[in-house]
Amino acid sequence: MGGQPMFILNEDSDRTQGKDAQSSNITAGKAVSEAVRTTLGPRGMDKMLVSDSGDVVITNDGATILDEMDIEHPAAQMISEVAETQESEVGDGTTTAAVLSGELLSQAEDLLDDDVHPTTIVEGYYQALSLAHEAIDEVTLDEELDDELLETVARSSMTGKGTGDVSAERLAEVVVDAVRRVDDDDGVSRDNIAVYTQTGSSSSATRLVDGVLIDEEPVHDNMPRNFQDPQIAFVDDDIEVREANIDAEYNVSSVDDLNTAIEAEENELRGYAEHVIDLGVDVLFVDGDVADQVAAILAKNDVAAFEVGDDEGEELAYATGLSRAAGVQELEADDLGSAGSISVEKYGDEYVTFVEDGDAGQSVTVFARGGTEHVTDELERVLGDALDVVTAALDKGGVVPGAGATEIAVADYIRSEAASIEGRKQLAVEAFADAVDVLPRTLAENTGMDPIDALVDLRAEHETEGIAGIISEGQTGVIDDPIELAVLDPAAVKHEAVESAAEAATMIVRIDDVISAS
């Protein structure tokens, strides 16, 4: 039977099918990967990202670059999400994951051109992924994670990143000290470590504060700025005259009525202030506004009050042991926390309040200094990554050799096992191994070495010595033992990188039809 063709899609819809869809998606994914490839390793380059409003970010952090880029292609967004996942799970290795995703797609493209079915590629990649995890486990160091080893991990994560004029050794000590402070039988409470940045000094002034930093000053000029062993309270509401819940008007017919109304309000506010003073509170934090009359009475009685937010309330509770009261009238003596000291310091035109040595002692802050805003912004990212990798090393399975050594071991192990895999799937497994090689090859390239020669030498050294990586030295790099030269990464970073890269690549390879609605 003949007839008119039936249209099931809106005529404005855009549809790409088959090889064209696969090619388009793979090209987009590879382009994103290529954008961050030059940032990999200690000699990687930085990117300058400029927003529509003129804001400038200078970084070589993969997650930050991909987050700041205005990526529209849906397949390219998947690679960006790989970096986000890597960042949220283990805090480092974002560039590694993105670069590996792109290379897995590139290898898959060659296999598709050779008529290997996408499902075969996906099955082969997942089998290779399982082998990769085994290989990482095999090269994980069987050593106790003492401070020295953890500092090595922290330094390795910072190498080549913008830490200003401060040495990685100094920052690594601060990072490990911070993690140790919040490490207990239940593991590392990473959320209890904050990074606070302040411009106006060299990065070498970076230090660890045993407590919380708040970028506020007291609400009244006459309030004290320094306390020893203060009693601390937190109120989750405004301290102002209560407003009626109903719309009502009051007719004031005489001056006496007006004075009575004013006096009632003043008495109410004075009652709030006196309640705080009677409880023995030295420092009051309020998630809301403090009325001027209340502030004036508190100031006369040497009580300091600060208007802060909800996040500060959480941090103060962890640090000082206080309980947050729903309102000033609900505040009781049992709700108070305490600290060793509270001090307000001025940096340029800004004030910072230090709440140190809290009784609960569960919060620490890395106080990072930098000469410019760009330096402190990058320092904040670098310290965040370092804190995450040290946490990952302690909580998620130890450390492995860095400098591309683990990747060479993974690729070698997958190739050796590929021979026993039957059919075309073997091609996909070998392609996965070839894709992993892109990481040491890119490291060599960014270090100034010939990538092909370096890869050949690395494989030879791996065969004879069992472990070999690319170590930056002077204006180029050398092939040496990364363990001896203290270049180590958390095993969790490697596991997460191969996992998330494989998932993104296989998801994109399986797509053979892209339908875009108008």
Active-site residue list: 61, 94-95, 385
CB 344 within 8 A of CB 353: yes
Scored b (16 or more CB within 10 A) or e, 170-197 reads ebbbbbbbbbebbbeeeebbbebbbbbb
109-118 long-range Cβ contacts below 8 angstroms, 24+ apart = 109/22, 109/23, 109/26, 110/431, 111/427, 111/428, 111/431, 112/19, 112/22, 112/509, 114/427, 116/424, 116/427, 116/428, 117/424, 118/22, 118/509, 118/510, 118/512
- Max intra-chain CA distance, the chain: 100
3-state secondary structure of 487: coil
3-state helix/strand/coil string of 413-437 = HHHHHHCCCCCCHHHHHHHHHHHHC
CB 440 within 8 A of CB 454: yes
Q: How far apart are CA 71 and CA 275, in angstroms?
A: 55
Q: Are strands 283-286 and 193-199 parallel, antiparallel or unpaired?
A: unpaired
Residue 475: half-sphere exposure toward Cβ, Cα within 13 Å: 0
Q: Where are the alpha helices (DSSP H) in 366-450?
A: 373-395, 405-418, 425-436, 438-447
Residue 255's CB: how many other CB atoms inside 10 A? 8
DSSP output for 231-289:
EEEEESS-BSPPPPSS-------SHHHHHHHHHHHHHHHHHHHHHHHHTT-SEEEESS-
Across the strands, what pairs with 286? 235, 307
CB 442 within 8 A of CB 40: yes
Looking at this protein, which amino acid is placed at residue 111? L
CB 415 within 8 A of CB 433: yes
User: Quick one: CA torsion of 121, 126, 132, 138, rounded to 10 degrees?
Assistant: -140
Q: How far apart are CA 293 and CA 298, in angstroms?
A: 9
Q: Are strands 364-370 and 193-199 parallel, antiparallel or unpaired?
A: parallel
Looking at this protein, which amino acid is placed at residue 321? G
